[in-house]
Amino acid sequence: MADDEQAASEAQESVTERKIEVLIAEIPEELQQKAKRRVCLAMDKYDIEKDIATDVKKHFDEECEGSWHCVSGRSFGCSVTHETKHLFFFKCDQMFVLLFCSPE
């Protein structure tokens, strides 16, 4: 239990140290917070954008229902189909993150 509390504390510190700008939030607040924390932790752990996206996707696949996808980077274009109320697009420092759940 102490390890979980320490991890949560570290995740919160990482979020507060970064500049986060929400661009599109068609997702419940709880999942927004989870995504922000996970992206910040992944950015602390990885330098490669693909590795950050993979970490976030795997976490959401394990923790949330549905098939999740994550795109991260400084510049990208995309066109996606997503479940209603399952899209989150935000900027963390200089990196954009698109997280969405696709229809089954």
Burial 76-87 (b: 16+ CB within 10 A, else e): eeeeeebbeebb
The domain tally of the chain equals 1
The half-sphere exposure of 63 on its side-chain side, counting CA atoms within 13 A, is 11
Q: Where are the alpha helices (DSSP H) in the chain?
A: 2-17, 29-45, 49-63
Which residue in 20, 21, 59 sits closest to 38, CA to CA? 59
Q: What is residue 88's predicted lDDT score, i.e. its pLDDT? A: 98
Which structural domain, as residue segments, surrounds residue 28? 2-102
Q: What is the pLDDT of residues 27-76, one digit of tens each?
A: 999 999 999 999 999 999 999 999 999 999 999 999 999 999 999 999 99
CATH classification of the domain holding 41: 3.30.740.10
Does 1 score more than 70 pLDDT? Answer: no
Decide: 82 and 101 in contact? Cβ < 8 Å.
Answer: yes
* Confidence band of 81 (pLDDT split at 50, 70, 90): confident
